[in-house]
Amino acid sequence: MASVTKSIDVDVPITVAYNQWTQFEEFPRFMSGIESISQQGDTHLFWKVKIGGVEREFEAEIVEQHPDERVAWKSTDGTTHAGAVSFYRIDDAKTRVTVQIDWAPEGFVEAAGALLGVDGIQVSHDLGKFKELIEASGTEDGGWRGNVEREADATGR
């Protein structure tokens, strides 16, 4: 399993950063490799990605969401992919956005990319594009403020 965690500080209030991040269909504006994401209800997403010339489609479910704090998702078919974005208030006009993504590389090219840290470079680049997008507009395109509680695992956690 490969994993990457990256953070960036954005010069907007936490609510603005969080609301923009919940606009999954807007991800192609700042995330390389995301062809499209369609939201099918409050907690279900359909992803189309093309990374390193490899195209994939998969469904994902939002497994945890708390306004102005955290959004977490995991794939529900095919590709093993999960992630979480956490939001930290630095002050009234500044927010730290931390992204963690875990996935199972498929094939030699993806495994090599993970080993060489290419994925971390890409996530940092995409966070930079998110910063440019949100700071240039100063406001979000919308937002979903619903709450999704994480289900307990087999150990009761």
Rounded Cα gap, residues 123 and 7, in angstroms: 9
The answer to the question of residue 146 being in a domain is no
Please give the tally of structural domains in the chain: 1
User: Which domain covers residue 11, as residue numbers?
Assistant: 2-137
Angle at 74 between CA 73 and CA 79, to 5 degrees: 140
CB distance 50 to 64 below 8 Å: no
CA 137 to centroid of chain Cα atoms: 20
- CATH code for position 110: 3.30.530.20
The answer to the question of residue 150 being in a domain is no
Tens of pLDDT along the chain (157 residues) come to: 888 999 999 999 999 999 999 999 999 999 988 999 999 988 999 999 887 777 888 899 999 999 999 999 999 987 788 999 999 999 999 999 999 998 877 766 666 666 666 778 888 999 999 999 999 988 887 776 778 888 765 445 4
The answer to the question of residue 152 being in a domain is no
The answer to the question of residue 38 being in a domain is yes
The answer to the question of residue 58 being in a domain is yes
The answer to the question of residue 18 being in a domain is yes
Report the greatest alpha carbon distance in the chain.
45
The answer to the question of residue 155 being in a domain is no
